[in-house]
Structure 1
Amino acid sequence: MTRHLPVLVVDGTRFDDLDGFAREFSRLLSGYTWRGNLDALNDVLRGGFGTPPDGWVLRWAGSETSRVALGHPETARRLERLLPGVDPSNRAAFAARLDAARRGEGPTLFDEIVAVIREHGPGGREAADGVLLELV
């Protein structure tokens, strides 16, 4: 018998930047507000921050709209906001990532978020968390 997992739906048509995605994702959480930090997203997906305890499906409706909204321009905007707090020892590599995003190259914010989520599902390092991502 197949176990039925709870399905939480992110609506990619309801936002057009990272802050909007954070609000939309937080809407799914019980008693917790995620503010857009990707390390914190990793923690949320591990559980204990308002997600179902024994695995769940994250259905990202309108994911192609989100792919555009969280593309290179939004990636560059996020990196620009983070740049002042970057450790000097990492500044050159960080600046190179920012320059690439400005040129429309390299992974986007959408790619990064998807990668974080997939780490918590089948084949990921934290697959035991049981988060199944569906991009629709």
Structure 2
Amino acid sequence: MTTYVLDGGRIGTLDDFWTLMGEAVNGPGGYFGRNLDSFVDCLRGGFGTPDDAGFVIEWRDHDLSRRALGHPETARHLEGVLARCHPTNRARVAEELAQARRGQGPTLFGILTEIIENRAPGTLRLR
């Protein structure tokens, strides 16, 4: 089974996560999603991961990433989402943003790990 390693010490922002995940799976400059929806698509297969034997995502120093992708980075991300989301979604996104600013609600780290665990069960190894 192929193992893709993420160096959590190099993840300071969500953009860092996208870059490092792409490089882990597809080499320098590689792509493996640049937003939550495309990340889900990539986990379904066909974007560099082995189709037959499965794979493992080993997230080393994940505690550093957990802090970096905490509520402040989640709020920063949601500010961008709010600026471009459909008007029917604005109230929900604004509430999520308000929660993140208060240090409440889900964080990007939690969202990413949940996506991995739900879309590719058994593939996440936190170290």
- If the length of structure 1 is used for normalisation, what is the TM-score? 0.85
Structure 2 partner of 1:42: 40
Q: Which structure's CA Rg is the greater one?
A: 1
Q: 2:19 aligns with which of 6, 23, 27?
A: 23
1:113 equivalenced with 2:109 (yes/no): no
Deviation (angstroms), 1:35: 4.9
Deviation string 1:58-83 (CA, Å, 9 cap, x unpaired) is 10001110000000000000000111
Counterpart secondary structure, 1:65: helix
What is the one-letter code of the residue matched to 2:40? Answer: N
Moved over 3 A (4+): none
Long gaps (5+) in structure 2: none
Contact 1:61 1:135 in 2 (8 A): yes
Q: What percent of counterpart residues are identical?
A: 46
- Structure 1 Cα separation of the partners of residues 116 and 71 of structure 2: 19
Deviation string 1:86-106 (CA, Å, 9 cap, x unpaired) is 111111111000000000000
Q: How does 1:68-83 map to 2 (within 5 A)?
A: 68-83=67-82
Contact 2:43 2:120 in 1 (8 A): no
- If the length of structure 2 is used for normalisation, what is the TM-score? 0.91
Counterpart secondary structure, 1:50: coil
- Structure 2 Cα separation of the partners of residues 38 and 14 of structure 1: 19
CA root-mean-square deviation = 1.4
Q: Is the alpha carbon distance of 1:121 and 1:34 closer, same or farther for their aligned partners in structure 2, counting shifts above 3 Å?
A: closer
Contact 2:44 2:120 in 1 (8 A): no
Contact 2:33 2:42 in 1 (8 A): no
Structure 2 partner of 1:134: 125
- Structure 1 Cα separation of the partners of residues 75 and 61 of structure 2: 22
Q: How does 1:77-92 map to 2 (within 5 A)?
A: 77-92=76-91
Structure 2 partner of 1:12: 8
Structure 1 partner of 2:49: 51
